[in-house]
Chains A and B, each alone.
Chain A
Amino acid sequence: DVKVTQSSRYLVKRTGEKVFLECVQDMDHENMFWYRQDPGLGLRLIYFSYDVKMKEKGDIPEGYSVSREKKERFSLILESASTNQTSMYLCASRTSGRRYNEQFFGPGTRLTVL
């Protein structure tokens, strides 16, 4: 079974802090995603990485950056956390090169910025 893990289930930070959210997958997937989930808005894509060191902005990249130095790990960075970044953050991965390319999600990190 594919396993996607995220470094924390719950995180509380203060405004202005630098925040790192880590995601690791164990299935050698090329593609990895960071989403933000807020009530009524669904899952909104922050950043997408289609391979190591490759990244593309999603719909809401402002205030975030990402890093993918190794294939299995995709990090989301909040350079200076703000209260409007309080949210649930979900990481996902999928293979590429296959017709059926469903995404596999991690358990999520609920981030609260005070």
Chain B
Amino acid sequence: QQPVQSPQAVILREGEDAVINCSSSKALYSVHWYRQKHGEAPVFLMILLKGGEQKGHDKISASFNEKKQQSSLYLTASQLSYSGTYFCGTESRYGQNFVFGPGTRLSVLP
């Protein structure tokens, strides 16, 4: 079942912060975050694993609440280059049942 993302879209000014949320109705093993710029392929940002491990960009942070099956992506001091659509992807068991959310469109204005 597809995870739910919120908000659907957000508009920021350069330097502002944003939070994008992802929630699932299933118990999760991992949450992935990807960013897709217009006309390009999605690019990996972060992976958060059950148990607290994570790997990703040093300028982007995220959290994973295993009890609530929720993850949040924190974009601080946003730059123009942060614009794009952000997708979360969830996995209920390692290597299985991977599914992407519908995406959150982020626009950063000068």
By a beta-carbon cutoff of 8 Å, the part of chain A in contact with chain B is: 31, 33, 35, 40-45, 48, 50, 59, 90, 96, 99-108
Given A31-B95, A96-B95, A101-B95, A40:B47 Cβ within 8 A: no
Of the candidates A42, A101, A108, which one forms a contact with B103 in the assembled complex, judged by CB atoms under 8 Å apart?
Answer: A42
Interface flag for B82 (CB, 8 Å): no
Given A45-B99, A59-B99, A103:B49 Cβ within 8 A: no
Of the candidates B2, B42, B49, B53, which one forms a contact with A105 in the assembled complex, judged by CB atoms under 8 Å apart?
Answer: B42
Some 29 contacts from A to B, beta carbons below 8 A apart, are: A35-B100, A41-B102, A42-B2, A42-B100, A42-B101, A43-B87, A43-B100, A45-B98, A45-B99, A50-B95, A59-B99, A90-B42, A96-B95, A99-B49, A100-B47, A100-B49, A100-B55, A101-B47, A102-B32, A102-B44, A102-B47, A102-B55, A103-B34, A103-B42, A103-B89, A105-B43, A106-B41, A107-B40, A107-B41
Give B5-22 as 1s and 0s: 1 = Cβ < 8 Å from A's Cβ atoms: 000000000000000000
Q: Tell me the bound Cα distance from A41 to B5 in angstroms.
A: 11
Of the candidates A33, A40, A101, which one forms a contact with B102 in the assembled complex, judged by CB atoms under 8 Å apart?
Answer: A40
Q: Tell me the bound Cα distance from A44 to B102 in angstroms.
A: 9
**Beta-carbon contacts under 8 Å, B81-110 to A:** 87, 89, 94-95, 98-103
B34, B41, B94: which has the most chain A beta carbons within 10 Å? Answer: B41
Min Cβ gap A4→B in Å is: 8
